[in-house]
Structures are given as structure tokens and as C-alpha cells.
Structure 1
Amino acid sequence: MSLLTKINSNTAHSRYYQALMDIIKGFKLWRLALSLGWFDIKLRYKGSALGPLWITSTSAAMTATMGVIYSSLFKMDIHEYLPFVALSTVLWGQGIALTLSDACQCFLQANDTIHSIKLPFFLQALRTVFRNIIILSLNLIIPIIVFILFKVHVGWNALFVLPGFILWFINGLAVCLLLGCICARYRDIPQIINSFIQIIFYVTPIIWLPQQLKHHIAYLVYNPLYPLIEVVRGPLLNNGFNGTIWIYALVYSMLIWLASGYIFIRARGRLAFWI
């Protein structure tokens, strides 16, 4: 083995080790990440009377409007449609879409912190995910109220939502590492991601029910965001545990993890220079 090959091999192993240690050290600082996430929310709504509840009130107004209008357009029973759209819009808007959007700014927004204090880069991913968890938790009040008003019974199947949220948490961290690194290097990517979010919203069953596709419903699993949202939404709508949905969700998740790991390992050493 030549000297150059040995150097390249040692460099590769060093990258893997440093990236792994970055993630481990980041997890150890989870309390700091949680505090920073909460501070971000307080700073964003500083001087506001309602604070983050402005998002909740806006989501509630949008849900009520969409529920009435679209139930008429689709000729759906509002007692079936409104709980579905209330839960779907919150999980999409304050869950998936917000995570994708914030992941692009994961490292860019922490520019001053990264340059002034030596902290694990993974801490910023935890910070972003914790911030979005808090916002999502506040907005889950909307579907809860709708479920109570329309007397939607949530049985023991709702327990399957726990592994779904754990999968969301892990995927959120992976997406932050993946998009955070890419967007730190290429500043046009956030605009592409925002356009993608708007497009994928209409081809994912958020404001329309999956069964409306009738004979074409089987093709929905090829939309990666459908199984990923269904592992959380399904149990809350008494759809039980769907093995097929979970298989696709895990496959798409593993692809995200592999991509984020590869990008983070290669980009970590240059992140501070890019931002």
C-alpha cells in the first residue's frame, strides 16, 4: 500500500470518527439544544401578545375555512372530513413542511454561534428539531379540539403514534444534517426546497382523502411523504397499524439516513468556512 493510499485511508477514518463524536457530543448537550430551541421561539415572537399562539390561531382559522369549503367541493361528510384535514394540515404545516424549511437554515442561522463558540454541529440540528417539536405541540391543540367537538373516538390504536413520532424525530435530525450542509454550500437550494414543498403539498393527501384516488390508491406509497405522514396520522384516525406503510416509511427513512450521513461526514470539516 502506497503512502498516499494510507494517508487517504487515515483521513477517511478520521472523518467518520469526528462525525460520530460530533453526533455523540451533540446528544449529550440535548438540554442546551432544548433551551436554545425555546429561546429561538421567544426571540421570534418577542413583544407579541400571543407569541407562538399566533401560528395556532392562524392554523385554526385555515382549518375551519378549508373544512367547510372543501367538504362541499368534494361532497364529503364534514364530520369525517374536518377531523382529517385538521390533523393533516397541522402535521404537514408545523411538522413536515416546517422541518424541511428550517433544515435549510439549520447552520446558516447559527452562523454567529458556530464562529464564536466551539460546539458540536449536531447541536444545531437538535436545536432546530426541538424548536419545531414545541411549535407542533402547540398546534396539536387544533385537531384535539376538533376531535372533541365531532366526538371522534381515538382507541388503543393511537399508541402506534409513538413509534411514528420517534421516526419523525430521527428523520428530522437526518434532514437537518442533510439539507443544512447542502444549503450552507449552495444558497439557491432553500428556494428550490420551498418550491418543492408547495408542489408536493398538492400531490400528498393533506386536503384530500387517500380513498378518493379509488383504484389508484396503491400508487400513493411511491410518494415518500405519504407513508411518513401516515405512520403518525393513521393511528390517530383509527386506521390501526399498517405494515406496508411502515415498510415504505422505514425504507425511505434509511435512504435519508444514508444520504445525510454521507453528506455530513464529507462536509463537516468545511461547514464553518461555508457559512
Structure 2
Amino acid sequence: MSTDTQHGESSLLIQLQHGLKREQFERALHDIRAGWKRRELWMTLGLQDVRQRYRRSKLGPFWITLSMAIMVLALGLLYGQIFGQDLHDYLPFLAAGFVIWGLIASLVNDGCQSFILAEGMIRQLNAPLSIYAYRGLWSTLIAFAHNIWVFLGVALWFGVDLNWNLLWVPVALLMLFLNGLWMALFLGLLSARFRDVPLIIGSVVQVLFFITPVIWKPDMLPGRALWLDLNPFYHLVEIMRAPLLGQPPSLGNWLTVIAITIIGWAVALFFYSAYRWRVAYWV
């Protein structure tokens, strides 16, 4: 076989591979868009998940709010004494941080389970795979909608300056939603293939809770340690907590979150394009 023939066959093979990858990428994007259009379905499923969790209880989903209120009050009184903090400033800080951390932790942990918990539906229902990622996000947002009332109650009680910076909160929530979606798509794939991933991620999230300024303030660190700025969860928390506390958002926090979002989506789309079709076999 001549060298020109071999070169031509190699070029054709490369073109076919590139064409296949492009087709997989376009199908993945179509799946995500099609899943978004099926909002009525995944909103219903997400709401059912929340109701099922509190089935037969007297208060129902309002246990979400009550348990968060008890946790914030207990931790606020305890750590306020340990850190020697004025509760007038510390309790609103803790309430905002704890509510936001609950949202982020749920996005990560529930994202790992997005496909595993939908095993039966994935095998029986002909629907976009991304529906199950949206489903988990919606149930998490419902819980957040219950929990945010805890912060609002604390903020009103202690007279937090709720000013025009609150307009940043919906934007921050949108950014967290976008990050939660790529986490659900990416971590959902990994968890469906490797069942140890949710356990590993859960342990990592627990550790990150203590090294992220949720129960302690950043200014408690001497010299503001470099690793604080390197902690992506700090920036994810801060883009929403600062406006809730009446403070202007930090450009550094926003730039970091935007970078996390872009990189996260690039990684998620790469894996989702390549392995989306295998999920039905993995679960």
C-alpha cells in the first residue's frame, strides 16, 4: 500500500472521529435543551420527591424550615460563645452561610444520585437523561425556598440592612443552579459507573464544611490564609451571602465563580457527550 493511500485513510479516519465527537456533543446539548423543555415533568417529580420524604408527618415539608431554624439557633449560641462573637452580627452571618451551604451541599450530594435514584425510569421512560438532573435541582431549590425563611426571620429580628444589594441574590442563585446542573451531569455519570463516588464526595463535602467560612468568619484567620481564596466553595457561598447581609458583591468572588462555571461545564459536557448513552447500562 502506497504512502499516499495510507495518509488518505488516516485523514479519513481522523475526520470520521471528529465528526463522531461533534455529533455526540450536539446530541448532548440537545438532550440538555430537551430536558429543560420538559419542565412540567421534572418539576412534578422533584415536588413528589420532597413530599415523599416527609410523607405522613404532621408538618410535612415545613420540617425543612423547622430543622434549619433549630440548627442555626443552636450553633449560633454555641459558636458565638466559643468564638466570642456578638450575636447581633454573628447569627445573621451564620444563618445566611448555613442556608447557602445547605443548598450547595445538596446540589453536590444529590447530583451524585441523580441517575442512580432514577434507575427504573431511565430504563423504562424514553425521555432526555438530563430530566433527572433537573429533577434533583428542583427538589433542592424547593428545600432552599423553605430554608431561606430562617435567614429572613433572623435578619428582620436583628435589623440586617436589606438593601439594593439583594438584587444580586437571584443572579447568584442562577449561577449556583448552573453549577449544580453541571455537577449533576458529571458526578451523576461518575456515580452511576463507580458507586463509591457518592460516599467519597459526601466525605469531602463534610470536610469542606469546616474549612469553608460558614460557622466562622474569614477575618478570624490571621493574615487571611491563601488557601481560603483557593477554596471554590468559599466563593460559591460568598456571592450570595454578601448581598443577603447588605454588602456589595466582591469582584474576585464573582470572577472565580464564573471561572468555575466555565471549566465545570467544559468537563461535564466532554464526559456527558462521550458516556451519556451508557448510563442506562450502568444503573
Range into which the TM-score falls when normalised by the shorter chain:
over 0.9
- Within the candidate set 29, 35, 41, 1:32 is matched to 41
- Write the mapping of 1:193-212 to structure 2, written as runs, cut at 5 A: 193-212=201-220
Return the letter of the residue paired with 2:81.
S
Structure 1: runs of 5+ lacking an equivalent: none
SS of the residue 2:159 aligns to:
coil
Would you say 1:79 and 2:88 are equivalent positions? yes
8 Å CA contact 1:22–1:121 kept in 2: the answer is yes
Relative to structure 2, which stretch is displaced further, 7-16 or 17-26?
A: 7-16
- Within the candidate set 51, 57, 60, 1:48 is matched to 57
Return the TM-score normalized by structure 1: 0.96
Residue 218 of structure 1 deviates from its aligned partner by 5.2
8 Å CA contact 2:218–2:224 kept in 1: the answer is no
Tell me, in whole angstroms, the C-alpha distance in 2 between the residues paired with 1:218 and 1:156.
Answer: 31
Q: What's the CA shift string for 1:134-178, capped at 9, x where partnerless?
A: 010001111111111111121111111121111011111111001
Stretches of 4+ aligned residues off by more than 4 angstroms? none
Residue 87 of structure 1 deviates from its aligned partner by 1.2
Structure 2: runs of 5+ lacking an equivalent: 1-7
Residue 262 of structure 1 deviates from its aligned partner by 1.1
Superposed CA RMSD:
1.3
SS of the residue 1:51 aligns to:
coil
8 Å CA contact 2:35–2:131 kept in 1: the answer is yes
Tell me, in whole angstroms, the C-alpha distance in 2 between the residues paired with 1:98 and 1:56.
Answer: 15
SS of the residue 2:117 aligns to:
coil
Residue 4 of structure 1 deviates from its aligned partner by 3.5
Tell me, in whole angstroms, the C-alpha distance in 2 between the residues paired with 1:214 and 1:158.
Answer: 30
How many equivalent residue pairs?
274
2:132 is matched with 124
8 Å CA contact 1:157–1:235 kept in 2: the answer is yes
8 Å CA contact 2:76–2:90 kept in 1: the answer is yes
8 Å CA contact 1:221–1:248 kept in 2: the answer is no
- Write the mapping of 1:176-191 to structure 2, written as runs, cut at 5 A: 176-191=184-199
Higher alpha-carbon Rg: 2
SS of the residue 1:216 aligns to:
coil
8 Å CA contact 1:106–1:124 kept in 2: the answer is yes
Would you say 1:18 and 2:2 are equivalent positions? no
Tell me, in whole angstroms, the C-alpha distance in 2 between the residues paired with 1:246 and 1:19.
Answer: 28
Q: Percent identity?
A: 35
2:3 is matched with none
Return the TM-score normalized by structure 2: 0.93
SS of the residue 2:161 aligns to:
coil
